[in-house]
Amino acid sequence: MKAEIIAVGTELLMGQIANTNAQYLSSGLAEIGIGVYFHTVVGDNVGRIKEALAIAKSRADLIICTGGLGPTQDDLTKDVLAEVLGWPLVIHQPSMDKMTEFFANRGVPMVESNIKQAQMLEGSTPLANETGLAVGNALTQDGTHYIVLPGPPREMKPMFEHEVKLWLQARIENLLPLHSIILKFAGIGESLLEHRLIDLIDGQTDPTIAPYAKEGEVAIRLTTRATGPEDAAQRLRPLEAEIRSRVGEFIYADQDVTLEEFIVRKLGDEGRTLAVAESCTGGQLSDLLTAVAGGSGAFVGGVISYTNEIKRQVLGVPAELLEGEGAPGAVSRETACAMAECVMELCGADYGLSVTGVAGPAELEGKPVGLVYVGVAVRGQAVTAVELRISGNRPTIKLRASKSALYQLWQRLKS
Amino acid sequence: MKAEIIAVGTELLMGQIANTNAQYLSSGLAEIGIGVYFHTVVGDNVGRIKEALAIAKSRADLIICTGGLGPTQDDLTKDVLAEVLGWPLVIHQPSMDKMTEFFANRGVPMVESNIKQAQMLEGSTPLANETGLAVGNALTQDGTHYIVLPGPPREMKPMFEHEVKLWLQARIENLLPLHSIILKFAGIGESLLEHRLIDLIDGQTDPTIAPYAKEGEVAIRLTTRATGPEDAAQRLRPLEAEIRSRVGEFIYADQDVTLEEFIVRKLGDEGRTLAVAESCTGGQLSDLLTAVAGGSGAFVGGVISYTNEIKRQVLGVPAELLEGEGAPGAVSRETACAMAECVMELCGADYGLSVTGVAGPAELEGKPVGLVYVGVAVRGQAVTAVELRISGNRPTIKLRASKSALYQLWQRLKS
């Protein structure tokens, strides 16, 4: 079954909102084994909605429309679909009764235009709206399935979960659901990762292999159709094993978790604590670590040492490292080591992680933009630091330096 | 000019990410007077990308493609466009040089596939990528304009702002240029702001009034078409004056600067310094302040005190405030005041700003999710704190608490 999602609404074309409905529906359809081939967004305009429906019919056998089900004159989706398919609109009485009661309860007069929301294409399956007033519709004509859903995600999501999935599953024959494994990588770029796996990617049939990158992280998704988890494992595991044999050292998780979440959970499981000292990342590393809900136990806090005074007075970095004749300076391996050890001691943590570098736009201490040192202190072990060269503008350097620091910590946690 | 945005990427059709690029571009095109009529999303597939381009050409005279510019075999956009238009691909030497340097700096071998990223359609205008490696393209064939942008928002946005807008403006004829004033607000929500201005918004013709909210900030953009700055001012100033008379106390700037940038610049101009103590915001407030380039002078650093031990031992918050019979607790007005004063003293700064609260998902000290205290210490003045009730999930509460802290500081800076 090939699906297309048509979102109707001028507010989408004005950029007032993002089409998160298409994302939600695509993900939900993939789960039940239906592939989405196109998304279309069209404004509140009869001619252009007709055009979008005609194009979708030519290339899809499942068309899901979202939006345009409200009470205003701009809400056109059901009217246009009724005209295109030649099915008249009728009142869905239970929806009408619910709406009448809704307005009566609020003591607000129901204006005529609201009646539209209770309309359905005659002969279609009404889809109940748990959280709003507009009824949805599902129907099949000439082998093409049409589903009409409201635009507000609050209304669309329960209708999809509780009504649409069942309606669709009864109409999909001989189709096995999709099963996926996600492998998350750190310390390797998307292109190098793909280079190492290029023969597998080129030769893919079943399972499929999809590498993707976002927010400083790289992942690979392996997907197959299978009758159940065991059947899926039989298909997915050999390919996973092959990938692990080539690039296993960069895999930190086999589920969709961020590196910071993985680290916070791992520290929490082991009952260890972490403190950070940030210079060029300016708080972003701590922000990532505290984005993890329930992570308070492992991450105890730290110091943003944006100036040499704070490095010296708050952290206790020796003055001779920072300034003066022959001093390595704030941006140096030595200072990164000192920051990591100092913050570990100051906060009484098991691990200390530090970042110092030049985020730009100007160079610092005669050192170039993008030069970054990450220090890792482990209680009872020697402190280490690595030098990184990070390209990009200021926000990019901050993000990559933060993620690189997490990667360095993960390397130590593994060993 | 009728525009269509084609986003290329199977990850969009799988529901892994939302098409936020289309939203961003639609909004940006509207600002320069170009209407978007359709969004299309298509997977990484030669045939279907061709089909999407053909349909777009039939109904739009500006086609903007995003995504599919990376180094992998799935990245097809330029190849397909080159084939469809019959323009050969050539190497854009400056991009090639930049990429060679990038890999040399990292000491990582550049794999062959990366060369794709430096390719452009021969005769097109290359669009520089400030934050990544793939060069963009702009060209016109048979009256249809084509623009090819990278998929990652981090790369796409600067390319659109700094390259595409200029390229497009030179190609829009007989259209007076748009002139805008932006008013930035703090301490007032979008809906309340809109409520106070609803008659102006409903009655708008020229200038237009567009309220918008993003990343915890609210802004109003007033726009008109005019022959020049003086003509524009004549049209815009009366409306601006009316808005200021109603909600002027919430306006912190009449240009598109973030609240953190405004504050860092103001402190810098006055030669004052700021230190922060963060609990529930976990580094995000510092991250915002250090996002401001050249802000090192004003923001000196601070402490992430995620546990009571750090509040006590690193900041020096009195133990009796934090724990024990009758103690107000970590999430309290008293602790917020102590944190602000302590961090100001510890860092030798002129101002101390603190945030302590419950970011969720679970309550803390029997206090509800969303309860937040912000403390402001000013050298030589009494420290103050305010109580806030913030709704939303964990990331929303962190962001709103950070922005609210900046607002509280701005209020003190003004007085």
At residue B174, the pLDDT reads 62
**Yes or no, beta carbons of A290 and B41 under 8 Å apart:** no
Q: Are B360 and B347 in contact (CB under 8 A)?
A: no
pLDDT of A296 strictly over 60 = no
Tokens at A187, concatenated: 């310390």
CATH assignment, B178-253: 3.30.70.2860
Nearest to B19 among A19, A36, A294 (CB): A19
Could you tell me if B274 lies within 8 Å of chain A, comparing CB atoms? no
Do the chains contact at A26 and B14, CB–CB below 8 Å?
yes
Of B11, B27, B304, the CB nearest to A286: B304
Interface test with A, best of B296, B306, B399, B402 (most A CBs within 10 A): B306
pLDDT in tens, B311-338: 999 999 999 999 999 999 999 999 999 9
- Residues B70, B11 contacting (CB under 8 angstroms): no
Q: Are strands B351-357 and B299-305 parallel, antiparallel or unpaired?
A: unpaired
Of B243, B234, B249, nearest to B209 by C-alpha is: B243
* A108-117 residue pLDDT tens: 778 788 899 9
What is the domain partition of chain A in residue ranges?
2-169, 178-253, 259-414
Q: Chain B, 365-384: which have a CB under 8 Å from a chain A CB?
A: none
* pLDDT reported for residue B295: 60
Does the beta-carbon distance from B108 to A15 stay under 8 Å?
no
Q: Quick one: pLDDT band at residue B401, thresholds 50, 70, 90?
A: very high
Running DSSP on this structure, what letter comes out for residue B215?
T
Identify which of A28, A294, A309 has the shortest CB distance to residue B348.
Answer: A309
Cβ–Cβ below 8 Å for A287 and B398: yes
Torsion of CA B18, B21, B25, B27, to 10 degrees: 40
Fold of A259-414: Maf protein (3.90.950)
In the predicted structure, residue A210 carries a pLDDT above the cut 60: yes
- B227-271 pLDDT per residue, tens: 888 999 999 999 999 999 999 999 999 988 999 999 999 999 999
* Whether the Cβ atoms of residue B373 and residue B408 lie closer than 8 Å to each other: no
Chain B residues in contact with A370 (beta carbon < 8 A): 105
User: What is Dmax (Cα atoms) for chain B?
Assistant: 79
Q: Does B97 touch chain A (CB under 8 A)?
A: no
Q: Which of residues 162-221 of B touch A (CB under 8 A)?
A: 212
Contact B15/A35, CB-based, under 8 Å?
Answer: no
Query: Residue A212 — very low, low, confident or very high, per pLDDT cuts 50/70/90?
Result: confident
Contact A291/B282, CB-based, under 8 Å?
A: yes
- pLDDT at residue A91, as a whole number: 97
What is the average pLDDT across B132-143? 96
- Average pLDDT across chain B, whole number: 92
What 8-state DSSP symbol labels residue A403?
H
pLDDT tens-place string over residues A75-97: 899 999 999 999 999 999 999 99
E strand segments, B101-207: 119-121, 125-127, 136-141, 144-149, 178-185
Mean predicted confidence (pLDDT) in A275-298: 92
ipTM value for the complex: 0.75
Minimal C-alpha gap between B320 and chain A (Å): 20
> Which residue of chain B comes nearest to A17, CA vs CA?
B23
pLDDT of residue A173 exceeding 80, the answer is no
pLDDT at B214: 67
Which residue among A43, A303, A360 places its CB closest to the CB of B303? Answer: A303
- pLDDT tens digit sequence for A123-148: 999 999 998 899 999 999 999 999 99
pLDDT in tens, B261-305: 999 999 999 999 999 999 999 999 999 999 998 765 899 999 999
B183-199: string of b/e by CB count within 10 Å (b at 16+)? bbbbbeebeebbeebee
Mean pLDDT for B50-59 is 97
Query: Residue A49 pLDDT > 90, yes or no?
Result: yes
A23/B15 Cβ within 8 A: yes
Is there a shared CATH topology between the A178-253 domain and the A259-414 domain? no
**Does residue B414 surpass a pLDDT of 60?**
yes
Please tell me the predicted confidence (pLDDT) of residue B215.
Answer: 67
- B14 and A27 within 8 Å at the Cβ level: the answer is yes
Contact residues on chain B for A55, CB-CB shorter than 8 A: 55
Is it the case that residue A349 has pLDDT exceeding 60?
yes
B36:A14 CB<8 A = yes
Pick B2-169's CATH classification: 2.60.40.3080, 3.40.50.620, 3.90.550.10, 3.40.980.10: 3.40.980.10
Q: What is the pLDDT of residues A352-365, one digit of tens each?
A: 999 999 998 899 99
Burial A154-178 (b: 16+ CB within 10 A, else e): ebbbebbeebbeebbeeeeeeeebb
What count of CB pairs under 8 Å joins A to B?
285
In this prediction, residue A19 carries a pLDDT of 96
Average pLDDT rounded to a whole number, residues A313-338? 96
